[in-house]
Structure 1
Amino acid sequence: MSNHALAERHRLAQLLTAAGPDAPTLCSGWTTRDLAAHLVIRERRADAAAGIRVGALAGWTQRVQDGYAERPYEELVRLFRAGPPMYSLFALPGADEAANTIEYFVHAEDVLRAGDDWTAQPVPPGRAEALWRRLPLIARLEAGRRSPVRLTLSRPDGQSLTVGPSGAPTVRLTGDPGELVLFAYGRGARTTLAVDGAPDAIEALRHVLPLPAR
């Protein structure tokens, strides 16, 4: 059975190593060191990881993350590459694959595409299908919830899904599954997506979710 999360973990670790500790990322305000610390506490410090999603606990999470960020960068990358410890929820059978395939793909692209001269890397077909299978839920919870227009997310082969408010003008975004995932997570400005729709609908969407440059 393919383990896409494991493959993306190793790809992300390689990108972090190549970039070094002070490189920018697409995570607002985070360097690669901050991102590495986030990845480590997410699966090794359950007491702090809750604050990633729960605002009331965000202060504690930030303090723990800042503490980890003071560790040697090579140690952080090594801990992340090693995978979750036995006591982590992510060590449960199937949990890493279910929870981290998208997480690590997006964060790998956060490192890869942060510079001005980025080039999209090809995604293996099996992994692209795994990203596509997870996209409907992500698109509804992330982009669809925020979008003022109806969104049709289309693959080059014609498969598509639609999210967003019914009755609103439609904007179609076309690209490979990985590009659509990045758009759903607010990284649309650094994608290769084609955007089609009425100019005023596209402009309304652009005010809420980043889109590729005109």
Structure 2
Amino acid sequence: MTEPIDVRERRELCDLMAELGPDAPTLCTGWTTLDLAAHLVLREHFQKWTDERMSIEKAKGLSVLIDRLYGGAPLVPWRLPRIRTVMNGVEYLIHHEDVRRANGHDRRLDRPDLEPIALRVLGFIGRRIAQRIAPHGLELRRPDGHSRRIGPVGEAVLTGEPTELLLYLTGRREAAQVSLTGRPDAIAALEKANQGF
């Protein structure tokens, strides 16, 4: 039986954080691997959290947080079929790349199963970004020529593999392997948009 993507991404991210230690950088501005591990634990186990709660979790140490993450997500809602792939799978995919790329790792070419998952959420995330750059449109184009236009003609055209488009649109612009073309005003609007995820 094939390991679910969210489980694999979680395990591989935990392995990498354990190898790098608590002070390794991530692509999340101002966060180390310890911050990211605390975020992931809190995200899955608490509906709301504060800076104080984040500090409490971080005080437990990276190894304790990683052990909790290795234990898996709670059944509800994170392991329900659609949620586990689209929401948790994408969350762990993005944060795995946050750690990998901040620590000198390049794009993974041995994980083609990540592309369909990234593709599934690009429409939703692309629409959110397109609203922020209106009246300009946004075209998301894959290297194979398939594209999706969101908004009016006169767009910024972002080209790359789905995982790379996902990284760009969730604020990891410097690490994403994409090209950006189109009308200068549309490009400028996209580059200025708040692209946090």
1:174 aligns with 2:145: no
Percent of aligned positions that are identical: 37
2:52 to 49, 54, 63: 63
2:24 partner SS: coil
Other-structure match for 1:53: none
Alignment length (residue pairs): 193
Once the 2 structures are TM-superposed, how far is the Cα of residue 118 of structure 1 from its aligned partner? 4.2
Q: Cα RMSD between the aligned structures?
A: 2.2
Q: Cα gap change, 1:132/1:2 in structure 2, threshold over 3 Å: closer, same or farther?
A: farther
Amino acid at match of 2:6: A
- Kindly report which structure 2 residues correspond to 1:1-214, keeping only aligned pairs within 5 A, or say none: 3-46=4-47, 48=48, 60-86=49-75, 88-115=76-103, 117-122=104-109, 124-141=111-128, 143-148=129-134, 149-164=136-151, 166=152, 169-208=154-193
1:188 partner SS: coil
Amino acid at match of 2:174: A
Once the 2 structures are TM-superposed, how far is the Cα of residue 29 of structure 1 from its aligned partner? 1.8
Q: Which runs of 5+ in 1 are unaligned?
A: 49-59
In structure 2, distance between residues paired with 1:155 and 1:188: 17
Conserved 8 A contact 1:21-1:33:
yes
Amino acid at match of 2:35: D
In structure 2, distance between residues paired with 1:96 and 1:62: 26
TM-score, normalisation: structure 1: 0.80
Amino acid at match of 1:61: T
TM-score, normalisation: structure 2: 0.86
In structure 1, distance between residues paired with 2:190 and 2:161: 20
1:120 partner SS: coil
2:138 partner SS: strand
In structure 2, distance between residues paired with 1:25 and 1:206: 21
Q: Cα gap change, 1:42/1:192 in structure 2, threshold over 3 Å: closer, same or farther?
A: same
- Alpha-carbon deviations, 1:60-117, whole Å to 9, x = none? 422211100101211111111211245x5324454322321111111111111224x4
In structure 2, distance between residues paired with 1:145 and 1:89: 29
Q: Which runs of 5+ in 2 are unaligned?
A: none
